[in-house]
Chain A
Amino acid sequence: MLEDNTHLTIATLFESVRMHGVLDTESQSHLERCGLCRGRLSWMQTATDLGTQESEYEPPRSAVDKVLQLGREQSALKQLGNFIIASLTFDSFSEAAAEGVRAEGSARQMTYHAEDVDIALWLRRSEEGTMTLAGQITSKSLPRMQDNSDYVDLVVGGDHVRTSSFSPWGEFLFPDLMPSSYSLHISLADRMLRIPSIHIIDDEKSQQCSESR
């Protein structure tokens, strides 16, 4: 009988996994008592299972090249390094509209500010019960949106679920939003602006959404 401090050899374990060898009763009995040998058997089994699939898991070269290209865009890397969180300056659900702020029916309106950029957001419920998020960016330094590479991403927990481009007037639109906690990432020239958290809740009778910073 194998002593508890005498382990199954690596060769025995390997051949039982990879060559489908059958362990004798004594070895089986040791395995049941020995965590170390079970651990070795486990990683050998994982390696064997992975081995049959691993070549399939190599992504096509064309897909990898497209991904690698991202890291070669110095302007994009520079933009990511210039990352600014926009701050809430107005919320129609918590205060009366300031002079000059447009009111649109039952829509909730919020405005944000970051450096020389103002971001206006409207949240409106559709007849189907989903929400539409509309927005507009204005900036003294960017009177018109002329760079087609600028975009705004709607993000849920790191997952960029939708992307919108801007109209020449800096407008963007995300229709049919389900309840969730969203953030907005706005790519603007050499900057990346972020509105951290817009919660859309599923409760028609209460407020349409809540916002937290």
Chain B
Amino acid sequence: MDERSDGELISSCLEGDGGAWEELVKRYKRLVFSIPLKWGLDRDDAMEIFQAVWLDCFRELHLLRDLDRLQAWLVRIAVRKCYRFSQQKRGKPETIEITETDRWTEDPSPALVRRLDQEQMIRSAIARLSPRCTQVVQALFFEEPFPSYATIAARLGLSTNSIGFTRDRCLARLGKLLENLGYVH
């Protein structure tokens, strides 16, 4: 089934479809929550920012309907809230993962926007994989320590000899999806 676009989901929300709101939140929840954590805020403060961003998003839905990129809007609002939150709480935050440009601003730097774009594309591409490939890719990239190929094969009910083929096929599929999504390196 084709994934509904952000604009379609927003329109459905405004027609009273609570399921569309849930789909939007599910699509971008990790992106939004990652920003205050990258900013160096703790999880309690990150939760506050997360909820504030989504409340703003909800209250702005009528204006966001015609926006091409909800993702860029969410990033901008989250960064602004992190900036303001840090200014109010303890002055200029210590930079953890976010690299700002020379000028300290409340708008996200192009480098940050690009990195968040890339990360979100990885999430989107994985969400479009088959359940089996999703399992393989999550084992390959998201598990620490890296599980052995024998372990992955056993989970999938495959022989160890055939896991290499499955891995390559799933990685190639993921690469193709990223290409279609416009991943830029």
Contact = CB atoms under 8 A, between A and B. Distances in A.
B77 A158 contact: yes
Contacts of B52: 160
Contacts of A185: 59
A185 B140 CA distance: 47
Interface residues of B, number: 61
A71 B22 contact: yes
Interface stretch (B43-51, B127-135, B153-161): B43-51
Q: Is the interface of B mostly helix, strand, loop or mixed?
A: helix
Given A10-B168, A46-B119, A63 B50 contact: yes
A111 to B, nearest CB: 24
Contacts, number: 147
Query: Which of B59, B81, B146, B174 counts the most chain A CB atoms within 10 A?
Result: B59
A39 B59 CA distance: 39
A43 B43 contact: no
Query: Which of A44, A59, A83 counts the most chain B CB atoms within 10 A?
Result: A59
Query: Which of B32, B55, B141, B178 counts the most chain A CB atoms within 10 A?
Result: B141
Contact of A59 (B30, B81, B84, B183): B30
Interface of A: 9-11, 14, 18-19, 38-44, 46-48, 50-60, 62-64, 66-68, 70-72, 74, 76-78, 80-81, 83, 153, 155-161, 185, 192
A46 B122 contact: yes
Interface string B1-42: 000000000000111101111100100011111100100000
Interface in B53-85: 54-56, 58-63, 73, 76-77, 80-81, 84
B13 A71 contact: yes
B62 A47 contact: no
Given A57-B37, A63-B47, A158-B73, A68 B62 contact: no
B129 to A, nearest CB: 12
A77 B81 contact: no
Given A40-B175, A57-B30, A59-B29, A18 B185 contact: no
Interface of B: 13-16, 18-22, 25, 29-34, 37, 43, 46-47, 50-52, 54-56, 58-63, 73, 76-77, 80-81, 84, 115, 118-119, 122-123, 137, 140-144, 146, 164, 167-168, 171-172, 174-175, 178-179, 183, 185
8 contacts: A10-B175, A42-B185, A46-B115, A57-B37, A74-B18, A80-B59, A153-B59, A159-B76
B65 to A, nearest CB: 10
B47 A59 contact: yes
B56 A158 contact: yes
Given A18-B140, A59-B47, A80-B14, A159 B119 contact: no
B54 A70 contact: yes
B128 to A, nearest CB: 14
A43 B34 contact: no
* 5 tightest Cβ-Cβ pairs between the two chains A and B: A71-B21, A42-B185, A51-B141, A59-B33, A51-B142
Given A18-B141, A43-B118, 20 more contacts: A14-B167, A18-B146, A43-B178, A50-B122, A51-B144, A52-B144, A58-B29, A59-B30, A60-B47, A70-B54, A71-B18, A71-B22, A78-B16, A80-B13, A153-B59, A158-B77, A159-B76, A159-B77, A160-B56, A185-B59
A158 to B, nearest CB: 6
B45 to A, nearest CB: 12
Nearest to B54: A67
Contacts of B33: 57-59, 63
Contact of A10 (B61, B122, B143, B171): B171
B74 to A, nearest CB: 10
Nearest to A60: B47
